Amino acid sequence: MKIAFYGSSLLSSYWNGAATYYRGLLKALSHRGYDIVFYEPDAFDRQKHRDIEAPDWCDVVVYEATPDALKQAASRAAQADIVVKASGVGFEDEALLRALIDHARSDALTVFWDVDAPATLADLRNNPDHPLHEELKKIRLVLTYGGGDPVIWEYRAFGAAECIPIYNALDPETHHPVAEDSRFPCDLAFLGNRLPDRETRVESFFLEPACTLADQRFLLGGSGWGDKPLPPNVSWLGHVGTRDHNAFNVTPKAVLNISRDSMASNGFSPATRVFEAAGAGACLITDAWEGIELFLTPGEEILVARDGADVAEIMRTLTPPRAKAIGAAALRRVLAEHTYTMRAELVDTIFKAHFEHRTVEAAE
């Protein structure tokens, strides 16, 4: 079957946290026989910061960020059996969604794939005139990269025919243990772009512990932190491309995951960073959120901090041998239960069930 997938970017992770998710899932789906074309706008300088070139498992169409180019790209949805519009494409999202619904064949499966469901649902709650209220009634399936039952129930309440979470996972071919790298030695590292609904939590979970632990070294990776006042024992690296994530994860004694406000409050939303770090065998410390135990066991495969004081206490007592043992346990767990191959098997089942149901309906 042919999939036309419209997202932010497959080729660049620059200001694009969904890149790893797209790559892992779509590569695994292609291995299951799907013919995939990924459409992404040339926006936010992402094409100047490519992490990968176009892969052999997916065709990539980069279109200009103009209304005419958008319309032309959307018209090609008519060639696909499955038409996917991801959230947060970044250029005229509402116009793109309407155009894709218009161009999709009547027998095609239309999918809204939400890579930031808590934020999308907040927009829907706060804006009764949001176009997605009406478009949801025309979309056959909503998939999300997290959220659990609260997201499912709310999407259904807003009119979605079906909503199913497809969680982040690990691609062992891209995220795996490597040798330590002289660029990244430190006690604790955090990788994340500076975003309004995460900055306060970064201050609490990362910068405040750094101030408390003046004798330890901290590394901060990600875009947007250039004018942020930092403690003297915190070094800012700027954007860290995906090709360096394995070394960034495996070299420090521990790495930190900090959820955005909406993800933390909603729960059941493990970031791609969780699986990237676990896949590299890193000792991961995460802020607390509901549902962690579904993915990694606290205290054995991941360390959980309620606040910055917990992070500081963990770092005071964490020994290198224990850190390595936690990282090794996390790696075993994600390889056994949380790979994109496994997630793609679920997606494949969902897609095939839809078309089998349509076939039965047509025969009746």
Over residues 77-121, the pLDDT tens digits come to 999 999 999 999 999 999 999 999 999 999 999 999 999 998 899
Tell me, what's the pLDDT at 266? 81
Name residue 114's amino acid.
Answer: D
Tell me, what's the pLDDT at 260? 84
Place of tokens 């930190």: 256
325 dihedral zone (left: phi>0; alpha: psi -120 to 50; beta): alpha
Question: Per residue in 214-237, is it b (16+ CB within 10 Å) or e — as a string?
Answer: eebbbbbbbeebeeeeeeebbeeb
C-alpha–C-alpha distance, residues 154 and 174, integer Å = 34
pLDDT at 357 over 80: no
Q: Please tell me the pTM assigned to this model.
A: 0.92
Element (H, E) at 326: helix 320-337
Lowest mean pLDDT among 23-37, 250-264, 298-312, 320-334: 250-264
Percent residues over pLDDT 90 in the chain: 89
Name residue 202's amino acid.
Answer: V
CB 266 within 8 A of CB 118: yes
C-alpha–C-alpha distance, residues 329 and 324, integer Å = 9
C-alpha–C-alpha distance, residues 305 and 289, integer Å = 10
Q: What is the mean pLDDT of residues 158-172?
A: 95
> 68 is written with which tokens?
């005419």
Tell me, what's the pLDDT at 146? 85
Tell me, what's the pLDDT at 278? 98
The CB-side HSE value for 243 (13 A sphere, CA atoms) comes to: 7
Name residue 20's amino acid.
Answer: T
Q: What is the pLDDT of residues 322-335, one digit of tens each?
A: 999 999 999 999 99
Name the residue with higher pLDDT: 148 or 308: 308
Lowest mean pLDDT among 258-262, 263-267, 285-289, 303-307: 263-267
pLDDT at 274 over 60: yes
Tell me, what's the pLDDT at 360? 59
> Torsions phi, psi of 187, nearest 5?
-85, -45
> Torsions phi, psi of 89, nearest 5?
-60, -40
Q: How confident is the model at residue 359 (pLDDT cuts 50, 70, 90)?
A: low
| DSSP letter for each residue of 113-135 | EES-HHHHHHHHHH-TT-HHHHH
C-alpha–C-alpha distance, residues 238 and 249, integer Å = 15
Percent residues over pLDDT 70 in the chain: 98
Mean pLDDT, all residues of the chain: 95
Q: Which of 97, 150, 82 lies closest to 122 in space, CA to CA?
A: 150
Tell me, what's the pLDDT at 363? 55
